[in-house]
Chain A
Amino acid sequence: MLLRHTSKEVKEREGLTINPAKTCQPIGAMYAALGIHGCLPHSHGSQGCCSYHRSTLTRHYKEPVMAATSSFTEGASVFGGQANLLAAIETIFSVYEPDIIAVHSTCLSETIGDDLQQITRKARDDGKIPEGKHVIFASTPSFIGSHVTGYSNMLTGIAEQFAVSTGAKKNQINIIAGWMEPSDMREIKLLSKKLGIKIVLFPDTSDVLDAPQTGKHVFYPKGGTTVSELQSTGDSLFSLALGSISAEPAAIALEKKCKVGFETLDIPIGLTATDRFIMKMSEVANVSVPDEITEERGRLVDVMADMEQYFYGKRVALFGDPDQLLPLTEFLLDLNMKPVHIVSGTPGQRFEKQMRQLLDQRSPETNFRNGLQADMFLLHQWMKNDPVDLLIGNTYGKYMARDEDVPFIRFGFPILDRIGHSYFPNVGYSGSLRLVEKILSALMDRQDRDALEEKFELVM
């Protein structure tokens, strides 16, 4: 067994992380920037960073992922990376012709003290940014936060650097997407359409990272929020931030800059989180919920009722990112399942508090930890001490699932060994129904596999 190395006894470790349940900020910034139309993410650091992020995103989406790098050398690390970035901006605009370059920093560039704001200003002053083109930036050192906060920082950069308030309000609502898949973003747009609400969704990686086969390699696929849409967010009636860690900071930035009010909701994963999303949408846009959506909800509840006996008391371990774990945990509780262990590598007291609050009310005995040393090694130790019926998490969970012989559902980032996440959503009522199907199938396949001959049931 691969993980026979995991010892049962849990000991506090001094600084060591084993099998991380997070990765570093820049990849989040890169993912967020890919959701802007005509945008080339740019990694201001060593070549490896950019290569690793592109490889990981490519493995997750099975799509080409384009991003440029400052290609730091030893010289740059001594004298600063300004020259590299200025040269990069020039070459990128002349050869790759993006509308936008979204620069994010790395541990290297941050430690040597490169100031992205100053360098991009210099690029503008020196005339290196052609008319009508943009260079935006976000600070994302790898030694702070996680991929989730990197995503959030880039989103904040996008909001701050694009939104303009013209004084004339537009009849539209901003939806700031927390870290979710292109399929989820597509579903959010579909739900908004059904509600009859005009929205600006950003970022929007649908039609970017789920692009069709066309016989061409399109450097800038057709999807992504456009510059004019982003600029118009300053005139929107309201912003909804989906996710307090990955989306809210951008909403705050928008409010500060353009006085657009906002509210933060959970990512609509599961029944109640979707209810809150739909209700809030209908409230802020002053529209009634169409039957079509009510019926969608009804079908989800119907299935939850039909199969309630299979959910009851099932013990679940889950790991992943804050804004997804919160509504997912709530949904599991709504299904009458039992979240037993929850781990997220992403640090932050806000998330810790929110999760504690949810658990204190509904499942106080759940093991929960986030931040340093909240890694898959710890989760695995917990699972050894207190076994579960189901594991939910990204691809790396497969080692634990195999080792403990536990059914496993892939959920989160990255998923390197299955497809589906790009195409079928986890959000909304239909996404929740898909989750229900996945959970049931995993549990029932296991029941069938392990059933004694006489208990092997045809009808379940």
Chain B
Amino acid sequence: MEQITILEGRQKQIFEKKTGVEQLDISCDTSSLSGSVSQRACVFCGSRVVLYPVADALHLVHGPIGCAAYTWDIRGAVSSGPELHRLSFSTDLQEMDVIYGGEKKLYHSLIELIEQYKPKAAFIYSTCIVGLIGDDIEAVCRKVAKETGIPVLPVHSEGFKGTKKDGYKAACHALMKLIGTGSTENISKYSINILGEFNLAGEAWIIRKYYEKMGIEVVSTLTGDGRIDAVRRAHGASLNVVQCSGSMTWLAKEMEQKYGIPYIRVSYFGIEDMSKSLYDVAKHFPERTDIMEAAKQVVSEEVKELYPSLQKFKKALTGKKAAIYVGGAFKTFSLIKALRSIGMSVVLAGSQTGNKDDYARLKEMCDEGTVIVDDSNPVELSKFILEKEADLLIGGVKERPIAFKLGIGFCDHNHERKIPLAGFVGMYNFALEVYQSVMSPVWQFAPRKGVKI
């Protein structure tokens, strides 16, 4: 096999699990090396994906056209009602605006939009250039809020000011300003907020239903199928249930500090983690044994249906190997378990934004010989897929064609999933998708992993 070299300066972000070798000390939380073909995005991207699902808010991108154009309806975050979030609004900054400032344009755009669409709130995203030309978007937002009577929230998401994670935080900052401004009247003591669930392909609806079956009130989902009014009263919930740790842990911590709401981290992928996320919520309300009973009931009903249907896939997929490269590390943990439950092992695990603790835990979970990478690139991914003879790659939009060129299966576990992968039904969908792709007849006609047929 051809030798593929690793980018110098990247060695510290790659680790292969071997016994008898020194402890993992992966370097992460760093910005990417200049000149690398990184799969990562920017601060703005982080903010945009977190807030995007809030469907009755206005999302105005203050910057040149690209930032708005590339994020126009690319995330399948479904709404059960309003769909204002699926349009693209931009101040389309021009050269003159860069010279003289874009505040006026921003102000007029906001007034026009709010007049026309009567949104419940507005999020104003600043992009790279706004950070440079010094527009005082705080002041514009205050002014417009005063004139229109709706919350107008600046999101400080200048692309260069950190990584995607900093964008999550900027988005959470904006949410934090909304939380606490609504009435908490009539909220049950047995209530939660679902954090970090974005309702891709309707996943939040599935999760919500499970909790409701347990007798739990879901006050708000942040931000899947999100509504401003629900966000405003989120501080009335008794517990925050956080998925996608990368994006929402910060918010959960803030809410704990400010409102005394404890939080737990969960994952809705795979039978094991899905069940645990129900039990963990039930455990939070020990005085209500019926909640735990109901949780057990939900799990047993769902698993009874799901388990037999998975066996067909397991039979076909046992012994197959997977490579995982996704945004957040937390997702990787669940995927490893979910893949194991259908007989597959993981030979490569990586993320764009994992932190030290994530990688330590990842190392613990992984089998001997598994490669662990942070902020990888196509060269590395191809190298390890070939070396480790993976049969499947789990990733996002930029990884898909690489997998297919190499002649292996692919599953999109990112924005472009078309079917829900969360919940018990999601596990079935996931297994089906993996099975369909790995076992596709097309691989009979395609050279696999560089080997001629």
Q: Which residues of A come within 8 Å of B, CB atoms?
A: 2-3, 5, 7, 13-20, 22-27, 40, 42, 45-56, 58-59, 62-74, 76-77, 84-85, 87-92, 94-96, 106-108, 111-112, 141-144, 146, 211, 213-219, 345, 372, 396
Contacts of A48 in B (CB 8 A): 41-45, 67, 159
Sample of 16 A–B contacts (CB below 8 Å): A3-B87, A15-B92, A15-B104, A16-B105, A49-B66, A52-B41, A52-B45, A58-B400, A58-B401, A63-B401, A68-B37, A73-B160, A91-B33, A142-B66, A215-B446, A217-B382
Asked if A144 and B33 sit within 8 Å, CB to CB, the answer is no
Chain B contacts with A in 57-92, Cβ cutoff 8 A: 63-72, 74, 83-84, 86-92
Interface of chain B residues 438 through 453 with chain A (CB within 8 A): 446-452
> Contact between A51 and B402 (Cβ–Cβ < 8 Å)?
no
Contact: B128 with A14, CB < 8 Å? no
Additional A-B contacts beyond A111-B128, A215-B447 (7; CB < 8 A): A48-B42, A49-B159, A70-B34, A107-B93, A107-B129, A111-B132, A217-B402
Roughly how many angstroms separate A95 CA and B71 CA in the complex, as a whole number? 31
Q: In the assembly, what is the distance between CA of A321 and CA of B113, in Å?
A: 27
Smallest Cβ distance from B438 to chain A, in angstroms?
Answer: 16
CB-based contact A17/B65 at 8 Å: yes
Tell me the minimal C-beta distance from A386 to chain B in angstroms.
Answer: 21
Top-7 shortest CB links A-B: A48-B42, A24-B66, A88-B35, A215-B447, A91-B35, A142-B64, A46-B159
Please, how many angstroms separate the alpha-carbon atoms of A15 and B68 in the complex?
14
Task: Give Cα A237 to B160, complex, Å.
Answer: 46
Q: Is B109 in contact with chain A by the CB < 8 A criterion?
A: yes
Q: Are B8 and A94 in contact (CB under 8 A)?
A: yes
Knowing A13-B112, A45-B128, A64-B401, say if A20 contacts B88 (CB, 8 Å).
yes
Chain A positions within 8 Å of B177 at CB level: none
Q: Which residue of A lies closest to B445 (CB)?
A: A213
State which of A55, A76, A87, A106 has its C-beta within 8 Å of the C-beta of B70: A55
Cα of A42 to Cα of B34 in the assembled complex, Å: 10
The smallest C-beta distance from B80 to any residue of chain A, in angstroms, reads 14
CA distance A460 to B7 in the complex (A): 61
Q: Are B34's CB and A87's CB within 8 A?
A: yes
Report the Cα distance A219→B90, complex, angstroms. 35
Residues of B within 8 A of A217 (CB): 378, 382, 402, 405-406
Q: Is B229 part of the binding interface, using a Cβ–Cβ cutoff of 8 Å?
A: no
- Cross-chain contact B128 with A74 (CB below 8 angstroms): no
- CB neighbours (8 Å) of B117 from chain A are 5
* Complex CA distance for A273 and B178, rounded to whole angstroms: 57
A377–B43 CA distance with the chains assembled, in angstroms: 28
B308 at the interface (CB under 8 A from A): no
> Given A17-B90, A67-B37, A213-B404: A91 and B129 within 8 A (CB)?
no
B38 with A77: CB separation less than 8 A: no
Q: How far is the CA of A89 from the CA of B162 in the complex (A)?
A: 22
A90 with B90: CB separation less than 8 A: no
Q: Which candidate, B94-102, B213-221, B296-304, B423-431, is the interface stretch facing chain A?
A: B94-102
Q: Is B36 an interface residue (CB 8 A)?
A: yes
CB of B257 within 8 A of chain A? no
Nearest neighbor of B83 in chain A, beta-carbon distance: A2
Which residue of A2, A20, A213 contacts B90 across the interface (Cβ within 8 Å)?
A: A20
Give the residue of A68, A107, A372 whose beta carbon is less than 8 angstroms from that of B128: A107
Residues on B with beta carbons closer than 8 Å to the beta carbon of A77: 128, 131-132, 160
Residues of B participating in the A interface, judged by any CB pair closer than 8 Å: 5, 7-9, 31-45, 63-72, 74, 83-84, 86-95, 97-98, 104-105, 108-109, 112-113, 116-117, 127-129, 131-133, 159-163, 378-379, 382, 397-398, 400-402, 404-407, 446-452
A143/B105 in contact, CB under 8 A: no
Nearest neighbor of A61 in chain B, beta-carbon distance: B401
Do A143 and B98 touch across chains, with their CB atoms under 8 A apart? yes
Q: How far is the CA of A77 from the CA of B400 in the complex (A)?
A: 33
Structural contact, B92 and A17, CB atoms closer than 8 A: yes
Please report the C-alpha to C-alpha distance between residue A213 and residue B448 in the assembled complex, in whole angstroms.
9
Q: How far is the CA of A55 from the CA of B407 in the complex (A)?
A: 20
**Closest Cβ of chain A: how far from B40's Cβ, in Å?**
5
CB of B73, distance to nearest CB on chain A (Å): 8
- Distance in angstroms between the alpha carbons of A25 and B40 in the assembled complex: 20
Q: Which residues of B contact A111 (CB under 8 A)?
A: 98, 128-129, 132-133
Q: Nearest CB to that of B61 among chain A residues?
A: A17
B407 with A213: CB separation less than 8 A: yes
The verdict on A16 contacting B113 (CB below 8 Å), with A52-B41, A52-B70 known, is yes
Residues of A within 8 A of B128 (CB): 45-46, 72, 77, 106-108, 111
